[in-house]
Amino acid sequence: MKILILGSGAREYSIALALKNENKNLEFYFAPGNGATSNLGTNLEFSDLENLASFSKENSIDLCIVGSEDFLEKGVVDIFQKHGIDIFGPSKRAAMLESSKAFMKDFLKRNKIRTAAFGIFTDIKQASDFIKSLTPPIVVKADGLCAGKGVIIAKSHDEAITVASDMLSGKSFAQAGKTVVIEEFLDGFELSIFALSDGDDFVVLPATQDHKKLKDNDEGPNTGGMGAYAPSPLANDALLEEIKNDIIKPTLKAMKDEGNEFKGVLFAGLMIVNSKPYVLEFNVRFGDPECEVLMPLIENPLDLFLACTQKKLKNFNLKLKKDFAVAVVCASKNYPFSSSPKAEISIKSLPKNSHISYAGVSKEKEKLFASGGRVLVCVALASELKEARDLAYELCENVSFDGMQFRKDIAYQALR
């Protein structure tokens, strides 16, 4: 069976690794992939999505799995379906739940799904007036895709107005910031919930928790994510049931009723305030690094992807390991501010039940080099969360490259 995975990060590497561990006979292609995915399969160069779809048809690709949101915003699912290729992910219209925060917030409002109070603006005067009506801190979001960095939590009215002005002028995030969403700040704890849907039915994966800030104790700037763990003991059965009934089900039903049937991953970024879940954002693909802890916990990932693409989730039996997984991101020296010098990666050994998922790496003469912002992810599994965390950090200590940085407190909220 031939599988094409779209993206270039540790998320895509993790998907392939989980599938390969389940079935050694799968043949993988990556577009574009990274320096390490070439160890799992074949990296492809492509000029456009039509070209990539034609290649897939001509080479009998059996399944395409979309990792990156950029492909979804460009309508890759629509293009591949036109060519008759099975593809895992939502259509371009359905992907607007992520590609436009304004669309997403309006969707939540009209379908009465719990979220923070908000306003949507293209004019700085109107945005400023709304900002002054809120109590700091204040959340300012660029409408479009910004690689996970388009959300700013301003500590004062003046800062919020400056941030909004920079976005609307195009100074920050270019076209993606020409519309802004301004929200009240919600104080609670965050959860990431992933529901996989075939358009009619869905399954929910274990609750995860991401760590967005660069430094320990959730300090420093926002990043694409510095680590994650699953399942999170912060999500009890009652809370998970409420999330399913009050957020996941009505979202999927409303999307279908509005003519935007949703197939693929619905990633709900939630804030839990006084035991009540509020939607901070929707993404329409696996989170990164959440994917890195979810994939090794799923025992039958290939069947799961196929069931989603073939509308067979109704009686699907999701098989999960009874373990905890912890992922720690190792980033380059200047991340997230600027690029860093290329550095050779050295690995001493892998502790038991651990592995590395590679992201910003390049290959030269069979050696891997750190060449991106988030370079690699150290992942470990164990029957207890603390043991999984300790193993992940043991692996971190066995990895080195010039300027390597990582947080030392992943999973702290669950272990304190």
DSSP letter for each residue of 147-176: TT--EEEESSHHHHHHHHHHHHTTTTTGGG
87 and 55 inside one domain: yes
pLDDT in tens, 41-95: 999 999 899 999 999 999 999 999 999 999 999 999 999 999 999 999 999 999 9
pLDDT band at 149 (very low <50, low <70, confident <90, very high): confident
381 and 280 inside one domain: no
Identify the pLDDT of residue 58.
Answer: 97
Query: Quick check: 416 pLDDT over 80?
Result: yes
205 and 286 inside one domain: yes
H helical segments located in 59-203:
69-73, 76-82, 96-99, 101-110, 124-132, 157-168
In this structure, is residue 110 part of a structural domain?
no
199 and 303 inside one domain: yes
Domain endpoint, select from 280, 310, 340: 310
In this structure, is residue 111 part of a structural domain?
no
Identify the pLDDT of residue 146.
Answer: 87
221 and 330 inside one domain: no
Residue 164 maps to which CATH number? Answer: 3.30.1490.20
83 and 170 inside one domain: no
6 and 69 inside one domain: yes
Residue 282 maps to which CATH number? Answer: 3.30.470.20
Q: Give me the mean pLDDT over the 363-380 stretch.
A: 97
Q: What percent of the chain has pLDDT over 90?
A: 97
CA distance 313 to 306: 9
269 and 353 inside one domain: no
CA distance between the termini of the chain: 45
Identify the pLDDT of residue 117.
Answer: 95
DSSP state of 135: P
pLDDT band at 333 (very low <50, low <70, confident <90, very high): very high
* 153 class by beta-carbon count within 10 Å (0-12 exposed, 13-18 middle, 19+ buried): middle
297 and 205 inside one domain: yes
Q: What mean pLDDT value characterizes the chain?
A: 96
Domain endpoint, select from 252, 275, 310: 310
Domain endpoint, select from 184, 200, 223: 184
Task: Dig out the tokens for 178 from the structure.
Answer: 């020409």
- Say which amino acid occupies 321: K
pLDDT band at 148 (very low <50, low <70, confident <90, very high): confident
400 and 306 inside one domain: no
Query: Quick check: 13 pLDDT over 90?
Result: yes
* 24 class by beta-carbon count within 10 Å (0-12 exposed, 13-18 middle, 19+ buried): exposed
Count of domains in the chain? 4
Residue 353 maps to which CATH number? Answer: 3.90.600.10
Residue 17 maps to which CATH number? Answer: 3.40.50.20
Helix, strand, or coil (residue 43): strand
Within 13 A of 33's CA, how many CA atoms are on the CB side?
A: 20
In this structure, is residue 104 part of a structural domain?
no
160 and 227 inside one domain: no
Closest to 60 (Cα-Cα) out of 37, 83, 39: 83
In this structure, is residue 228 part of a structural domain?
yes
- Provide the residue range defining the domain that includes 133: 117-184
In this structure, is residue 130 part of a structural domain?
yes
In this structure, is residue 252 part of a structural domain?
yes
* 89 class by beta-carbon count within 10 Å (0-12 exposed, 13-18 middle, 19+ buried): buried
- Say which amino acid occupies 342: K
In this structure, is residue 101 part of a structural domain?
no
Q: Give me the mean pLDDT over the 262-287 stretch.
A: 96
Can you give 272-286 as a three-state secondary structure string? Answer: EECCEEEEEEEECCC
In this structure, is residue 70 part of a structural domain?
yes
Identify the pLDDT of residue 311.
Answer: 95
Pairing of strands 42-43, 27-32: parallel
75 and 136 inside one domain: no
